[in-house]
Amino acid sequence: MSQTPDHEGPILEIDSLSISFFTRLREIPAVMDFSVEVQPGEAVGLVGESGCGKSTVALGVMQDLGVNGRIVGGSIKFKGRDLGKMSAEELRDIRGNEIAMIYQEPMASLNPAMKIGKQLMEVPMIHEKVSEKEAYQRALEVVRDVKLPDPERILKSFPHQLSGGQQQRIVIAMALMANPSLLILDEPTTALDVTVEAAVVELVKELGRKYGTSMLFISHNLGLVLETCDRICVMYSGEAVETGSIKDVFDKMQHPYTQALFRSIPLPGADKNARPLVAIPGNFPLPHERPPGCNFGPRCDYFQDGRCNQDIAIPMEPITGDDRHFTRCLRYKEIDWHAPIKAAKQTAATEKGDVILKMDNLKKYYEVAANALFGASGATKVVKANETLTFEARESETLAIVGESGCGKSTFAKVLMGLETATDGQILLDNKNIEHIPIQSRDTKTVADIQMVFQNPFDTLNPSMTVGRQIMRALEIFGHGKSDDDRHKEMMRLLDLVKLPREFADRMPRQLSGGQKQRVGIARAFAGGARIVVADEPVSALDVSVQAAVTDLLMEIQREKKTTLLFISHDLSIVRYLSDRVMVMYLGHVVELGTTEQVFSPPYHPYTEALLSAVPIADTHVEKKHIVLEGDVPSAMNPPPGCPFQTRCRWKSQVPGNLCETEVPPVRMLAEGHQVKCHLADDILARMEPVIKIAAE
C-alpha cells in the first residue's frame, strides 16, 4: 500500500468547511465557513479557546466525527483528493499512513496491554506489509529519532513503565513510523510539565524539518504556536477570525479578538499595578446562542450597533500587502490598530504588613511500603516530599511557589492546611505553632484563616449542590452569623465580591462556565475571612481570556482584604505578573527564593534558568536563550544523591570535583532576601546572562 504519488500544491486544503453536531434538541453548528490550507513542509497553528471548534476541525480532517457529527458544507482536500468522497477503505489507508494524529493524553493513545515495540511495528506492517524484521529495524530507528535513551529496552517495555514525556515521544514516534505527509497535533504537550514540554516541542520542530512533514498544530497557547509554527489561524466560536503568517498576526493583528487575546495574556512588561491585563468582557457564546452578525460583537471594544450585528455572514477579507493574511472583521480598515491600550485602572502597590506565616525547616517525609501486599513486614522506603522549607510570608503579599509536578508544592499545601502533619520543623501562624495540629483539631479561627482555591474548576464544586448552598455551608462551618438569614445575606455579599450575579445562588455548578466556577471557589475560600489563601494553579485550567479576569479578581480582593496569597503555579508568565516574591522548588527542595525581580534576572539557579527558557512567550520581540533539559524529573521515591538537580543541570561541569553528586548544596544568600541552593562559585553565577531579552522595537 503505497502513499499517494507526489502532488503539487497544498497538502491540505480546507475550503469553507461547516460541521454540525445533531442532538435530540437541535443542530449545533460547531464549525462554520472554515478555510485553511497547509503547504508542504509548513506548520500551521490553530489557536482558540476551548469550545471554539479547533479540535472538531482536526476530527473533520480525520473524518472521525462520531455518530452525531456531520460535515454540512465545504470540502476537505488532502493532496487534491476530497476526503469526504472517499470510501471507508480508502480513508483507512490514509489515516495513520499519510495523516497521523497526536493527542493530548499520551497514556490514552497507547494500548496499555501491548509492548511499545509491537505497537510501533504494527504501523508499517499494516500499511506497507513489510516483514517483522524490517518493521523492528524501523521502530528502533524512530525511537532513536525521538531521542529516547536505550531504544532496545524501550521497545520491550509497556506504556505504564515510561514517564509522561517518554510516552508522548513514543506517540510521536508512532505517528512518524509511516512517514506521513501531514501530522495533526491536538494540544500535544498540555498534559506535560514545562521543561518536558519544551523538549517535546523542540523535538517536533526538529523532526518536522528532518522529514519535511506538514503540521497542523492545535493549541490554546499562543506562545507555543509562536515557537513551532509558520502560520497561524485564530478561531473564535466556530469561525476562523484571522489567519496569516506568525509575524503578521502577532505584530500587525487585524481582528479585535486577536488583539484582545494578546492583551489578556501576561507578557513581559505587564505589571499588576502599573499595567494590568485587560480581560475580555463577557462570556464565550454557546454554539446555539451565537449573536447575529459578528460572533465577537457583544464582547468587542469596537462594536458598532446596526452594523456589526446585522444578520449577515461576514466574509474573510484579505489584507492587502501581506502574504495570505485574512481577517473576518467589517471594521478592520477603520480601527486604529496602533492606538495605545486604553488606560486601564492603575493602582498603587500595596504596603506589605507584618509577617503572619513563618515556615522553619519544615520537613515532610512519607513512608511508603515497598511491598504493597505485605506492607507491615516488608522494608519501607522514605519519600522526602518536602526538605527543609524555610520562608516567611507577610500580610497582603503574594508569594509564588513555582515548580513542576512532583516538586512537593502540593504536599507543602497539605501540611499547611493541616491535612497532613509535618515530620519535622515548624509552621508559625501569628507565632503559634500549627505544624503538628491536624485539621480536625484546629480551632475554627485557624481553619478559616488558611483557605485554599483549587486548580480544576470542574472539580472544585460539588456537582449536586447549588452554588449558594455550598457557600452557605462554608459560612456555617466557620460559625458566621446567627441564623440562616444572616448567612444568606453574607452569601449574597460574597457573590458580589467575586462579581457574580446574585441569581447564581440557586444555580447548579454544571450551569456555570469554568471561570464562574472558579469565582465561586474563591468566594467559598473567603467565606471565613481568610487571611492566607493558598491558590493551587487557580487559572491554569481556564481559557486565556478568562484567566486575566480571575487573576484580577484575586488581586482586587487581596488589596481590599490584605490577604496573603500563596500562589502555586508552573506558569512563570503569570507568576512574574502578579507575585511579589517567588520561591522555586525542585524535588522537595527550595532551590531559589527572592523577590520577583531577583528571581527573573541573573544570577539564576540553573533550574530557574531552564524553567524561564522553557516557558513559551507569545511575543515576537522576545529573544530567549535556548536551554533544553535532558530527561525527566527524577522520581521522589528515588532522588539522586547530592544536589537534586544534578542529573539535568547544564552547569554541573563548572563545579570542581564531584561535589554536586555527593553533597546537597547549602543555602546561600546572594543578595538581601535572595537565596539559592547551588554549588556554583560566585564568579560563575555573576557571569550568567539573562534568558529573556526584549529586542528593541
Applying CB under 8 A, the residues found at the interface with another protein are 23-24, 417-419, 439-440, 442, 444, 447-448, 450-452, 454-456, 459-465, 474, 476-479, 521, 524, 528
Contacts of residues 497-501 at CB distance under 8 Å and 24 or more positions apart, as own/partner, are: 497/523, 497/526, 497/557, 498/522, 498/523, 498/553, 498/557, 499/553
Instruction: List 69's β-bridge partners, or say none.
Output: 21
C-alpha 274/C-alpha 53 separation (Å) is: 36
| Cβ-based burial of 397 (10 A; exposed 0-12, middle 13-18, buried ≥19) | buried
- Shortest distance (Å) from residue 51 CB to another protein: 15
Total Cβ atoms within 10 A of residue 340? 6
* Grid coordinates of 291: 449573536
Residue (of 125, 21, 128) closest to 69 by Cα position: 21
Is-contact 486 426, C-beta < 8 A?
no
Of residues 239 and 435, the one with the C-beta less far from another protein: 435
- Shortest distance (Å) from residue 108 CB to another protein: 17
- Shortest distance (Å) from residue 395 CB to another protein: 21
Of residues 477 and 686, the one with the C-beta less far from another protein: 477
Evaluated on CA atoms 602, 606, 608, 613, the torsion sign reads positive
Of residues 77 and 409, the one with the C-beta less far from another protein: 409
Of residues 522 and 611, the one with the C-beta less far from another protein: 522
Of residues 447 and 627, the one with the C-beta less far from another protein: 447
Residue (of 211, 223, 225, 206) closest to 182 by Cα position: 211
C-alpha 484/C-alpha 475 separation (Å) is: 10
- Shortest distance (Å) from residue 364 CB to another protein: 17
- For 28, the 3-state DSSP assignment is strand
- Shortest distance (Å) from residue 524 CB to another protein: 7
Of residues 292 and 378, the one with the C-beta less far from another protein: 378
Evaluated on CA atoms 311, 514, 407, 396, the torsion sign reads positive
C-alpha 660/C-alpha 649 separation (Å) is: 10
DSSP state, 686? H
CA angle 243, 248, 250 (to 5 degrees): 90
Q: What is the largest CA-CA distance in the chain?
A: 79
Is-contact 584 608, C-beta < 8 A?
yes
Of residues 293 and 418, the one with the C-beta less far from another protein: 418
C-alpha 115/C-alpha 136 separation (Å) is: 13
- Shortest distance (Å) from residue 131 CB to another protein: 44
* Grid coordinates of 543: 481559557
- Shortest distance (Å) from residue 254 CB to another protein: 37
Of residues 356 and 452, the one with the C-beta less far from another protein: 452
- Shortest distance (Å) from residue 475 CB to another protein: 9
Output the DSSP codes for 432-469. Answer: EE-TT--GGGS-HHHHHHEEEE-S-TTTSS-TTS-HHH
Of residues 444 and 658, the one with the C-beta less far from another protein: 444
Of residues 236 and 454, the one with the C-beta less far from another protein: 454
Instruction: List 590's β-bridge partners, or say none.
Output: 585
Of residues 533 and 549, the one with the C-beta less far from another protein: 533
- Shortest distance (Å) from residue 420 CB to another protein: 11
- Shortest distance (Å) from residue 408 CB to another protein: 17
Number of helices (H), then strands (E), belonging to the chain: the values are 22, 26
- Shortest distance (Å) from residue 526 CB to another protein: 12
Of residues 143 and 448, the one with the C-beta less far from another protein: 448
| Cβ-based burial of 557 (10 A; exposed 0-12, middle 13-18, buried ≥19) | buried
* Residue showing cell 505504564: 160
Q: Is 437 left (phi over 0), alpha (psi -120 to 50) or beta?
A: beta
Of residues 466 and 601, the one with the C-beta less far from another protein: 466
- Shortest distance (Å) from residue 419 CB to another protein: 6
- Shortest distance (Å) from residue 66 CB to another protein: 13
- Shortest distance (Å) from residue 435 CB to another protein: 16
Of residues 125 and 417, the one with the C-beta less far from another protein: 417
**CA distance to 141, 304, 474, 478, 515, per residue, from 563 (Å):** 55, 41, 18, 17, 21
